[in-house]
């Protein structure tokens, strides 16, 4: 990767470290390491460095979002924090970098409490229900949003 390559953060929240074994009927059998490998490889194809992080901690997610404020963008699966974390919502809203929210499952086909995302209204884009392909779509979307912002600057 060239030194001046843009950087995108791939951020996964709580319980996503268990991908591949946790509820495979809902989330599939692909592990988080495999997801990260796929998105990193796509990033290389697109000329972007992808930095991967996962945390089960709400504060850890906020810290990661803050640290990525000067990146080209953030692809974020906030997991359950999407439904109630005002702190994470405020962190996404506070940074200049576009954030695309990703969910593996279709949250609208699940329990009603999952139908609301407090982070989605401040995200630059939203992908849900596409399985792990959603992460790749999220990377493409965040790069598109970053290019749109750069064209306006």
Please indicate if the annotation marks 107 as binding a ligand. no
Which one of 27, 71, 126, 135 is the catalytic residue? 27
Query: Catalytic annotation on 71?
Result: no
- State both tokens at 141: 């979307």
User: How far are the Cα atoms of 9, 75, 82, 109 from residue 53, in angstroms, in the given order?
Assistant: 7, 11, 17, 27
φ, ψ at 41 (rounded to 5°): -65, -45
Please indicate if the annotation marks 105 as binding a ligand. yes
Please indicate if the annotation marks 85 as binding a ligand. no
Which one of 71, 81, 103, 126 is the catalytic residue? 103
- As a whole number of angstroms, the distance between CA 79 and CA 57 comes to 11
Please indicate if the annotation marks 144 as binding a ligand. no
Query: Catalytic annotation on 103?
Result: yes
Residues 6+ apart with CB under 8 A from 83: 113, 114, 116, 117, 118
As annotated, the active-site residues are 27, 103
Binding residues: 77, 83, 90, 104-105, 114
Binding residues for substrate: 77, 83, 90, 104-105, 114
């Amino acid at each position: 990767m060239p030194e001046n390559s843009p950087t995108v953060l791939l951020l996964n929240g709580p319980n996503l470290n268990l991908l591949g074994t946790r509820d495979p009927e809902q989330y599939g059998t692909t592990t988080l390491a495999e997801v990260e490998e796929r998105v990193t490889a796509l990033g290389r194809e697109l000329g972007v460095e992808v930095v991967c992080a996962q945390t089960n901690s709400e504060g850890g997610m906020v810290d990661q979002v803050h640290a990525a404020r000067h990146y080209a963008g953030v692809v974020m699966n906030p997991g359950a924090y999407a439904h109630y974390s005002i702190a994470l919502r405020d962190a996404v809203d506070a940074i200049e970098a576009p954030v695309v929210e990703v969910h593996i499952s279709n949250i609208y086909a699940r329990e009603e409490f999952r139908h609301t995302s407090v982070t989605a209204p401040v995200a630059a884009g939203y992908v849900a229900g596409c399985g792990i392909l959603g992460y790749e779509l999220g990377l493409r979307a965040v790069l598109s949003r970053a290019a749109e912002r750069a064209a306006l600057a």
